[in-house]
Amino acid sequence: MPIVSIENLSKVYASGLHALKDVNLAISKGEIFALLGPNGAGKSTLINTVCGIVTPSSGTIRVGGHDNRSDYRAARRMIGLVPQELTTDAFEKVWDTVSFSRGLFGLRKDPAHIERVLKDLSLYEKRDNRIMQLSGGMKRRVLIAKALAHEPQVLFLDEPTAGVDVELRQDMWRLVRRLRDQGVTVILTTHYIEEAEEMADRVGVIRKGEIILVEDKVELMRKLGKKRLTLHLAEPVSALPDSLAGYDLQLGPDGREVVYTYDTKRERTGITGLLTALAGAGIGFTDLDTKQSSLEEIFVDLVRGSAGATP
């Protein structure tokens, strides 16, 4: 059973904005799921709907099997949310605000747990500081500490590394992996492809309120492993000879380019064979280049709405 299951979820805001359109998504326990999408695609709306901040127009959401509306207490108790904006109480002390969060979720005080969370986030030294005295990166850590104060089983990180420095980003990645090792399910939104590549087990892409792709990252990386070799021909050809039929080739529209797609992870790329075969067919070339398609390219293609996401 998925730990988070979203069925036929739609959200139309009072302004008429159709932020989510019939979203279906199942998140498995213990996975790191990255939700990618451009600004305004509906990432935050989706997260906020699961967490109870936005009321859905239709559809159902279950967290750990609990309906997030009819059984909201049980559902919300399992969730920790780190919002995108740095929303903190300026005058509160770090320790107090994190303890407050634990209380809100109905748990008794547990100074040992709070201490552990603060130490994990390198915040313990700052526990008696008022939040307004902290830097932006430290405030981000406070928000994470608040979300972890009640030992959630599902952690939502909405743009966790937006505007944070490299060190904090790597700290954050380490923390997320540690949480996953403890069995916590992590769902993060990002528009840094690198982050999804680095962290996620699965990647989902959302565009204009619709989930347009959900795929295992390894599978995506396999696609990433493909490269394209472009040969610029000396003379244009109208068709490729039959001797080249065994290669995955495409002829450019003006007959001056031949594109060969190959898998770098295979033992043999077939490049040597191809070049020999070309020479044999009497096709000469003036230049060549190779290019690796990145997740970013796939992503850009997808969000622009072009059908082909293949390299």
Q: By CB under 8 A, name the binding residues for another protein.
A: 13-14, 48, 51-55, 72-77, 79, 81, 83, 85, 87-92, 96, 99-108, 146
CA distances from 109 to 82, 96, 115 (A): 21, 11, 11
Least distance between another protein and beta carbon 110 (Å): 11
CA gap 296, 5 in Å, rounded: 27
| Residue closer to another protein, measured from CB, 79 or 220 | 79
CA gap 176, 185 in Å, rounded: 9
Contact, 151 vs 106, CB < 8 A?
A: no
Least distance between another protein and beta carbon 37 (Å): 19
Sign of the four-CA dihedral 57, 48, 162, 171: negative
| Residue closer to another protein, measured from CB, 88 or 190 | 88
> Which residues have a Cβ under 8 Å from the Cβ of 14 and sit 6 or more positions away?
none
CA gap 61, 26 in Å, rounded: 10
Least distance between another protein and beta carbon 100 (Å): 5
| Residue closer to another protein, measured from CB, 100 or 290 | 100
| Residue closer to another protein, measured from CB, 53 or 279 | 53
Least distance between another protein and beta carbon 138 (Å): 17
| Residue closer to another protein, measured from CB, 24 or 100 | 100
| Residue closer to another protein, measured from CB, 144 or 274 | 144
What's the order of all strands across the beta sheet hosting 249-251?
Answer: 249-251, 257-263, 226-233, 285-292
What's the order of all strands across the beta sheet hosting 202-207?
Answer: 79-82, 154-158, 185-190, 32-36, 202-207, 210-216
Nearest to 167 by CA among 121, 132, 199, 129: 121
Least distance between another protein and beta carbon 40 (Å): 15
Least distance between another protein and beta carbon 122 (Å): 22
